[in-house]
């Protein structure tokens, strides 16, 4: 600023001298020229020139006074302006420094000012103390190496060397810092040259990106798990931008369709060729009409892959509309369900065979899926007990056990289910038919258990033994009657026969017995009547056996 003032003074002095010289020269020359023309007398001319000299002195003195005064006023004003500007500049600089230090101290980012040569901390802000756990006094005893893990010092030195090449430098790599409690955080560093207490130093700020990196790592891990899960489940993802017509497939979807992503051109026409012809019309249907209020649609399709294999896929589609309600984007997932469909077909065939077997047998067959609590009732429940199987009743069996037998049967069943060592269940009880009649039944069941012994499925067969029990009761009654007849024959019949045999022997020897023949014949007639009565009883009992 002093140079500027000196320069201004030199310019002003030069102007005054120049003006004075020009005015003096013009005055002297002009006045002498006019006097020589107008006055020829030398004495008079000399006196007049003397007067002219005095006049010149007075005029130039007045002119110098005016010029010097004006110059001094301008110079004074210029000096005052410079002083005002300098004062204002000093105030602004002081205010700027105060504002800068306020921003430094109250910045949400940890900030440090450190010496470039010694790496000593010169000043730290509140955020640096709060985040790292060190006090300002502790920072005064530390260098920037002390907040780095020892194994990262070489990386820090390299980053510092690179940062000193420019006034402002953002470290491109993520660095690690260590807090007072030993916790390691990952930060992004930004360095700037500043002047602090008259010395050129380095201002450094750190942005903690630990959470962001952890979230990114979690997202990467989650994506990796999802990708593995998609591969295991045979699950592919696709999108179709209905506005631009752009279609995207995930890698797993290419695997499902068994096509090369580098050679296969993704468009609806090419995709449609891999679907069975009976589903081609779905590609041209009105999407709004298909989805209506529900924007998620699920369907199963059969496809022919790039290697000419037949597969089944399950699709779940989601429709996105624009602000006017027009279809904008279609996205969905496709899952390979070929194994499930094959298994379902096998189960369906097995169920068909079971139904045929159930129709062909005189038993009422039960197939109980314990895990899902679903039961298939054999045809015998209709032919033997009269129930309408078109009306599904999952509790048909337990509900129609005779009330007097139900508690005992269900208790025995529950006990058998809970015992992992039990594979069979047998019971005889009364069962109510659809018309209310009571049937005596025999139930035999087989349990299928998993590796832990938990029952997963039960197969049972129930037969109506009412007629068999009736026949058994008749046979038992016949046996009892026949036993009575046999006893009668072996005991009661022998008595009159023995009497007759004895009387006949007496009659043969009548001459020596002294008994008259009339008496003997009377005894014989009495024995014959007893024998006839016994025979009639036997005949009657025999008829009762036949009637049974």
Examine residue 217 and state whether it is found in any structural domain, yes or no: no
What's the pLDDT at 44? 67
Q: What is the pLDDT of residues 509-537, one digit of tens each?
A: 655 555 666 666 676 677 767 766 767 66
Nearest Cα to 108, choosing from 84, 82, 80, 129? 129
Q: How far apart are CA 366 and CA 110, in angstroms?
A: 75
User: 190 with 202: CB under 8 angstroms?
Assistant: no
Angle between helices 466-487 and 517-547 (to 10 degrees): 170
What's the pLDDT at 465? 84
Residues β-bridged to residue 239: 248, 331
How many domains is the chain built from? 5
Are 376 and 413 members of one domain? yes
pLDDT band at 345 (very low <50, low <70, confident <90, very high): confident
| Residue 326's CATH number | 3.30.450.20
What's the pLDDT at 416? 92
Examine residue 384 and state whether it is found in any structural domain, yes or no: yes
User: 68 with 16: CB under 8 angstroms?
Assistant: yes
Q: In the listed set 99, 119, 150, which residue is the last one of a domain according to the structure?
A: 99
Are 58 and 132 members of one domain? no
- Which one-letter DSSP state was computed for residue 284? G
b (16+ CB within 10 A) / e for 224-251: eeeeeebeeebbbbbebebeeeebebbe
Above pLDDT 90, what percent of the chain? 25
Using DSSP, state whether 506 is helix, strand or coil: helix
pLDDT (average), residues 325-336: 87
Are 69 and 115 members of one domain? no
Domain span at residue 256 reads: 235-336
Complete edge-to-edge strand list for the sheet that includes strand 310-321 = 247-249, 235-241, 327-336, 310-321, 296-304
Q: What is the pLDDT of residues 225-274, one digit of tens each?
A: 767 666 666 788 889 998 888 999 988 899 999 999 999 999 988 998 99
Nearest Cα to 286, choosing from 328, 327, 244, 334? 327
């Amino acid at each position: 600023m002093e140079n500027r003032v000196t320069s201004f003074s030199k310019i002003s002095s030069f102007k005054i001298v120049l003006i004075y010289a020009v005015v003096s020269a013009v005055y002297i020359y002009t006045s002498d020229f006019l006097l020589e023309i107008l006055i020829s007398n030398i004495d008079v001319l000399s006196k007049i020139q003397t007067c002219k000299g005095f006049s010149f002195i007075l005029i130039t003195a007045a002119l110098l006074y005016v010029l010097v005064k004006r110059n001094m006023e301008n110079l004074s004003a210029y000096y005052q302006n410079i002083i005002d500007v300098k004062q204002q500049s000093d105030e602004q600089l002081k205010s700027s420094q105060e504002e800068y230090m306020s921003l430094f101290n109250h910045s949400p980012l940890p900030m440090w000012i450190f010496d470039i040569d010694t790496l000593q901390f010169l000043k730290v802000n509140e955020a640096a103390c709060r985040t790292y756990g060190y006090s300002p006094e502790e920072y005064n005893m530390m260098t920037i190496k002390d907040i780095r893990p020892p194994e990262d010092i070489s990386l820090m030195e390299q980053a510092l060397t690179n940062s000193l090449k420019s006034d402002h430098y953002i470290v491109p790599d993520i660095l690690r810092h260590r807090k007072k409690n030993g916790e390691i955080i990952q930060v992004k560093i930004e360095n700037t040259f500043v002047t602090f207490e008259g010395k050129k130093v380095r201002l450094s700020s750190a942005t903690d990106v630990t959470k962001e990196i952890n979230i990114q790592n979690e997202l990467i891990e989650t994506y990796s798990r999802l990708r593995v899960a998609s591969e295991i489940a045979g699950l592919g993802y696709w999108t179709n931008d209905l506005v631009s017509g752009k279609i995207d497939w995930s890698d797993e979807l290419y695997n499902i369709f068994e096509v090369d992503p580098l050679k296969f051109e993704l468009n609806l026409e090419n995709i449609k060729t891999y679907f069975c012809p009976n589903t081609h019309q779905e590609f041209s249907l009105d999407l709004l009409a298909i989805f209506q209020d529900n924007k998620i649609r699920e369907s199963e399709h059969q496809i022919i892959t790039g290697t000419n294999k037949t597969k089944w896929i399950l699709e779940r589609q989601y429709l996105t509309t624009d602000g006017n309600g027009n279809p904008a984007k279609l996205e969905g997932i496709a899952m390979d369900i070929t194994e499930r469909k094959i298994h379902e077909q096998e189960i369906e065939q097995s169920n068909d065979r079971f139904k045929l077997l159930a129709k062909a047998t005189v038993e009422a067959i039960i197939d109980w899926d314990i895990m899902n609590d679903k039961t298939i009732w054999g045809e015998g429940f209709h032919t033997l007990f009269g129930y309408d199987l078109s009306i599904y009743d999952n509790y048909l069996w337990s509900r129609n056990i005779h009330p007097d037998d139900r508690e005992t049967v269900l208790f025995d069943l529950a006990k058998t289910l809970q015992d992992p060592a039990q594979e069979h269940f047998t019971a005889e009880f009364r069962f109510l038919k659809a018309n209310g009649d009571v049937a005596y039944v025999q139930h035999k069941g087989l349990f299928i258990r998993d590796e832990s012994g938990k029952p997963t499925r039960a197969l049972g067969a129930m037969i109506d033994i009412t007629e068999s029990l009736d026949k058994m009761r008749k046979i038992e009654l016949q046996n009892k009657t026949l036993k009575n007849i046999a006893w009668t024959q072996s005991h009661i019949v022998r008595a009159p026969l023995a009497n007759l045999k004895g009387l006949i022997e007496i009659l043969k020897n009548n001459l020596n017995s002294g008994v008259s023949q009339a008496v003997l014949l009377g005894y014989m007639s009495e024995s014959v009547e007893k024998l006839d009565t016994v025979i009639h009883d036997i005949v009657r009992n025999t008829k009762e056996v036949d009637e049974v």
